[in-house]
Amino acid sequence: MATWIYKKFEDLTVLELYACLQLRNEVFVVEQHCVFQDADNKDQFCFHLMGWEQKKLIAYTRIVPPGICYEEISIGRVVTSPSARGRGLGRALMQNSISIAYSLFSSASSIKIGAQLYLKNFYKSLGFVQCSDIYLEDGIEHIRMILQKK
Q: Contact 134/143 with Cβ under 8 angstroms?
A: yes
127 within domain boundaries: no
Q: What is the pLDDT along the chain (150 residues), one digit of tens a residue?
A: 899 999 999 999 999 999 999 999 999 988 888 888 888 999 999 999 999 999 999 999 999 999 999 999 999 999 999 999 999 999 999 999 999 999 999 999 999 999 999 999 999 999 999 999 999 998 899 999 999 998
Please indicate, yes or no, if residue 126 is contained in any of the structural domains.
Answer: no
pLDDT value at residue 139: 87
Residue 90 in any domain: the answer is yes
- Detail the DSSP E strand segments found in 42-150: 47-53, 56-64, 73-80, 110-116, 129-130, 135-137, 140-148
Residue at 143 is within a domain: no
- Give the residue numbers spanning the domain of 28: 3-108
Instruction: Specify the CATH number for the domain of residue 14.
Output: 3.40.630.30
| pTM exceeding the 0.85 threshold for the entire prediction | yes
- If one counts the domains in the chain, the total is 1
